[in-house]
Amino acid sequence: MNIGILKERSKGENRVSVVPNHVPALIKLGYTVYLEKDAGTAAGYSNEQYQERGAVIIDNLESLIKKVDVLLTIRAGAADNQGESLANQLKEKQIIIGLLEPYQPHQAFDALLNQGVTSFSMELIPRTTRAQSMDVLSSMANLAGYAAAVFGAEKSTKIFPMMMTAAGTIPPANVFVLGVGVAGLQAIATSKRLGAVVSAYDVRSEVKEQVLSLGAKFVEFDLESASGEGGYAKQMDEAYYKKQRELMKEELSNKDVVITTANIPGKKAPILITETMVKGMQKGSVIIDLAAERGGNCELTESGKTVVKHGVTIVGLENVAAHYVNNASMLYSKNITTFLNNLWDKKELGKINWEDDIVLATVVTHQKEIPNEKTRSWIG
Ligand code: NAD
């Protein structure tokens, strides 16, 4: 079984899907590992490091595709034309695994269907205990939460910890985290470690205990809990979000750094902070918007940019986990190689185990069809 590690082509994508340290285990399991030349260079992993661990370096994509049964990638670039052009080069029965952006139709999916390619999307890993070691979204969200706290501290005009100096006492900064999933919890933990006073809010009231266990305050509003399937939040109507914004306005008025992570899988991010609310915030305060790529939790966020509006610095972070490219690649590599090893029938490497719930949840295209009904509803 030949597997190929693709050199990423999406704009700003420096991660690599498999790091050198995970190559020997793959070879031991019976795979031959091919690396597209320089696939790991931007993440700090040289061709030589891969070679030393047994990978074969291939000069270009065309030759790589000719050799492999399975192609591993971070972002096949489904949303830009890279994905389509890659998919068009793949052959029938080849397999591609990566973050394929399955929540909306892309021409890349048409190409995968036409070519008869079997594809699996790492975004669709279920939130089950068995799948935890394959859960790329959690791995990346954890790094993103850390980055949000660190970037917030960097942009803030106030330091996070309390300091008692001969020139006077500096009070700790007030950090407010909106959305307490994986990223939110890490943002709370990191802000606490840096010495800030932290409060947090989520529409899923069951996260209160987790917030308290990190030593932060849980802010409660008079709103029903919006817990949905699989530990995610469910989408509420506009009247709900309007009430939420009204209740939150006062809470924001004394915060130095606000970190927003609120997300509904497959949907546009909910707007939690309007322009009026920004106007009510302290001058010099900071909003770090981790939902920027999905439209942003703040109305004034510009994805990929830092802007100052009404005296508030608003940072629209994009693909933020990739900032810590070395760690992000390492975690992704562990997730995707575990997924790869779980894909097969226990007795036969290369024979997909279609009885496995993780395989069934993540498949996007197979034999010119979209087998999963839910996925069909997004991209079919
Ligand atoms: P996510 O990225 O989908 O969303 C981030 C947070 O935003 C969620 O906590 C959500 O409730 C919150 N949110 C949505 N709308 C909001 C609004 N209007 N106002 C405030 N908050 C809002 O979430 P995630 O990080 O993927 O995690 C979701 C849950 O799944 C968490 O409880 C996490 O611990 C759990 N989880 C479980 C597993 C597992 O069991 N294997 C793995 C990962 C995550």
Radius of gyration of the chain (CA): 22
What is the reported pLDDT for 96?
A: 97
Element holding 145 (H helix, E strand): helix 136-155
What residue spans of 236-285 are helical by DSSP H?
238-252, 275-279
Q: Which pLDDT score, from 0 to 100, does residue 104 have?
A: 85
Checking if the pLDDT of 82 tops 80, the result is no
Would the pTM count as exceeding 0.95?
A: no
Average pLDDT, whole number, for the chain?
Answer: 94
CA–CA distance from 48 to each of 52, 63, 223, 239 (Å)? 6, 19, 56, 57
- The rounded Å distance from CA 184 to ligand 1 centre is 8
8 A C-beta contact, residue 23 and residue 55 = yes
CA–CA dist 379, 36 (Å, integer): 29
Gap between the Cα atoms of 239 and 243, Å rounded: 6
Mutate to test the pocket of ligand 1, among 123, 125, 199, 232 (most ligand atoms within 8 A of CB): 232
Exposed/middle/buried for residue 333 (C-beta within 10 Å: 0-12, 13-18, 19+): buried
Confidence of residue 50 (pLDDT cuts 50, 70, 90): very high
The SS3 call for residue 84 is helix
What the block records as the tokens of 15 is 């991660």
SS3 96: strand
H or E stretch at 349: strand 348-352
The helix/strand/coil state of 117 is: coil
* 323, two tokens: 């900032």
Average pLDDT, integer, range 117-126: 96
Among all chains, which residue has been given the structure tokens 């979204």? 137
User: Is pLDDT at 194 greater than 80 in this prediction?
Assistant: yes
Predicted pLDDT of residue 252:
95
How far, in Å, is the centroid of ligand 1 from the Cα of 157?
Answer: 30
Residue type, 15: R
Ligand 1 atom with the smallest distance to the CA of 262 is: 7
| pLDDT tier at 255, thresholds 50, 70, 90 | very high
Question: Which of 37-46, 107-116, 199-208, 218-227 has the highest average model confidence (pLDDT)?
Answer: 37-46
- 327-355 pLDDT per residue, tens: 999 999 999 999 999 999 988 999 999 99
Query: What integer pLDDT is reported at residue 179 of this predicted model?
Result: 95
Select from 49, 3, 64, 63 the least CA-distant residue to 29.
3
Tokens of 178: 């909106």
Three-state DSSP at 249 gives helix
369 has a pLDDT exceeding 80: yes
CB 27 within 8 A of CB 58: no
Q: In this predicted structure, what is the pLDDT of residue 266?
A: 77
Nearest C-alpha neighbor of 289 from the set 266, 264, 320, 250: 320
Answer positive or negative: Cα dihedral of 252, 255, 260, 264. Answer: negative
Contacts of 89 (CB under 8 A, 6+ apart): 61, 62, 65
- Say how far apart CA 214 and CA 194 lie, in whole Å: 13
Q: How far is the CA of 158 from the centre of ligand 1 (A)?
A: 29
Region of poorest pLDDT, from 45-59, 96-110, 205-219 = 96-110
Instruction: Let me know: does 278 contact 298? Beta carbons within 8 Å.
Output: yes
Top-confidence range, 187-191, 250-254, 265-269: 187-191
Residues forming a β-bridge with 309:
312
Pocket of ligand 1 (CB under 6 A): 127-128, 132, 135, 137-138, 141, 178-184, 201-204, 231-233, 244, 261-265, 270, 272
- Can you list the positions of beta strands (E) in 108-210? 118-121, 163-165, 168-170, 174-178, 197-201
**DSSP-based three-state secondary structure for 327:** helix
Mean per-residue pLDDT for 50-62?
Answer: 97
Please indicate whether residue 203 or residue 134 has the higher confidence score (pLDDT): 134
Best residue for ligand 1 mutational test, from 146, 263, 298, 358 (most atoms within 8 Å of Cβ): 263
Residue 252 and residue 280 in contact, taking contact as beta carbons nearer than 8 Å: yes
Q: List the catalytic residues.
A: 127, 132, 135, 138, 232
Mean pLDDT confidence for 237-255: 89
Amino acid at 329: S
As a whole-number percent, the residues of the chain with pLDDT over 70 amount to 100
Distance 20 CA to ligand 1 centre (A): 32
